[in-house]
A and B are shown apart, each in its own frame.
Chain A
Amino acid sequence: MRKYSVFAIAREAMRAHKGWEAQWTSPEPRSSYDVIIVGAGGHGLGAAYYLAKEHGITNIAVIEKGWLGGGNTGRNTTIIRSNYLYEESMDIYEHSLKLWEGLSQELNYNTMYSPRGVMMLSHNIHDQQSFKRHINANRLYGIDNEWLTPEQAKAFVPVLDISKTARYAINGAALQRRGGTARHDAVAWGYARAAADRGVHIIQNCEVTGIRRGPGGEVQGVETSKGFIGARKIGVSAAGHSSVVMEMAGVRVPLHSTPLQALVSEPLKPIFPCVVMSNTVHAYISQSDKGELVIGAGTDQYNSYSQTGGLQIITHTLDAICELFPMFRRVKMMRQWGGITDNTPDRSPIQGVTPVPGLFVNCGWGTGGFKATPGSANLFAHLIARGEPHKLAAGLTLDRFRTGRLIDEAAAAAVAH
């Protein structure tokens, strides 16, 4: 892999940019690998990268049904934060945030991580109590988070409407200054390039259609649209399709897959300094470096794999955006799309061993998986290499639905759904 640097740009500038090499290769699959990862999103590619880098396992294939980063990795609103309530959540999201901070240097790829601040708006006394509880829990745990009055919030985001007569009036906000955004495609591409450089095979347009198991129940490999590929360890990181893939091994996971929509506006001059989220009215907004306003909506109520969603959901979100930021009422929306999120009953992810020997699962990231990409990938690699979870991810087991030790971020209302 040729390193990207200012000298590389200068060198290529002098020879008409003809020397750039492909960022990763597209090899034909071998007959078997040490590890197969199902799903080439950020989590899967990252896990392959960390397996190669930290655990010395390089004979890995990442198998992808569509194209690399074409699922939820390329469909989210790129928000990064770690202001969750419970220790299990704070552990993993903070681990991830720390990796985000050095990711561009580590991968030699500009992931455009921008700690511009994530502000969560409080609209009523319940929000206020809940956010202050989060802030206290975060600060006791060493994670930055602070309470702002409406006036302080407006000083940070001048376009915010804090008038008392607003339809969604605000009585304060929580701000995590280290939170922010990153370029989602670059995360997938950066991990793909770095993993391929260490010998990982990235096999796109290859659908896994079955998981073959041996006499003792252990995994032997996967049936794919390109034939059988053997492996003694399989990591499933298939987001919205996790139920479908796990079913192939006879494992039921407590997930339901629902569409989540996002949309972007026409590009504007820099106007919006940070990320603003409102859990109460299901709206998130930030401005990309291209100038588009990136807006996230809520999930649809029913299970679906359609990668689309109801118009009433985004209408509701845009109602809220126009109320909170009256100056955006005349902005035109340019594109809208949906991704399929895999939601658990407690809205916390599942990462752990399964009843099938050799089969590991990383799913249930629901509506908030992007922020967790480096941390989740890093800990998933540890799980696959060692066969047991890292202590930071020890609580995220599949078994918690039997033992009852849930991580109920849903009830804590730290996530929007």
Chain B
Amino acid sequence: MLLIHCPYCEEDRSELEFRWAGEAHIARPENIAAISDEEFAEFFFLRNNEKGLTYERWRHIHGCGRFFNAARDTVSDRFLLTYKAGLPKQPVPVAEKFAAIAEEKSVETWEQTEGDAR
């Protein structure tokens, strides 16, 4: 289960309190009646589905109830960043990026996990 930081409550809370709400930063067309079928399919159905860094919306449905944005790595499922709705796409801090890469490459050994437990 994921531990998610809600930028409004400013707390790390369990995934059970949240709903995933799809890709972030998709702008609804200004005049949706005027767009072509291709543009509508693009807007309505096509999503990035990245392997790696993804920007997505979450909703703290069993908490404050508000939508917010998150940057997450879809390989490790690690949250790199969460920020409030309405803000432009936030760059992922370099340190976080390196931590995520290091985590992917590290192999979990018995010694390491035993070390953690102690």
Q: Kindly state the separation between the CA atoms of A319 and B28 in the bound complex, as whole angstroms.
A: 40
In the complex, B1 has a CB within 8 A of chain A: yes
Asked, given contacts A303-B54, A310-B2, A402-B37, whether A256 binds B49 with beta carbons under 8 Å apart, the answer is yes
0/1 string, B42-76, CB within 8 A of A gives 1: 10111111110010100000000000000010111
Q: Pick the contact of B45 from A304, A306, A345 — CB < 8 Å? A: A345
Shortest Cβ distance from A244 into B: residue: B51
| Shortest distance between the CB of A96 and any CB in chain B (Å) | 26
- How many positions in chain B have a CB within 8 Å of any CB in the partner chain? 26
Shortest Cβ distance from A246 into B: residue: B49
Residues of A within 8 A of B19 (CB): 301
Shortest Cβ distance from A259 into B: residue: B77
| Shortest distance between the CB of B69 and any CB in chain A (Å) | 13
Shortest Cβ distance from B75 into A: residue: A305
In the complex, B15 has a CB within 8 A of chain A: yes
Residues of B within 8 A of A243 (CB): 48-51
Assess whether A311 is in contact with B74, with CB atoms less than 8 Å apart: no
Residues of B within 8 A of A241 (CB): 51
A-B contact count (CB 8 A): 63
0/1 string, A277-305, CB within 8 A of B gives 1: 00000000000000000000000011111
Find the residue from B16, B37, B38, B74 having the highest chain A CB count within 10 A: B74
Shortest Cβ distance from A302 into B: residue: B20
The contact sample of 20 A-B pairs, CB cut-off 8 A, is A241-B51, A243-B50, A243-B51, A244-B51, A252-B42, A253-B46, A255-B47, A256-B47, A256-B49, A257-B51, A303-B50, A304-B77, A305-B74, A306-B75, A306-B76, A312-B15, A345-B45, A401-B44, A401-B45, A402-B41
On B, residues with C-beta under 8 Å from A are 1-2, 15-16, 19-20, 37-38, 40-42, 44-51, 54, 56, 72, 74-77
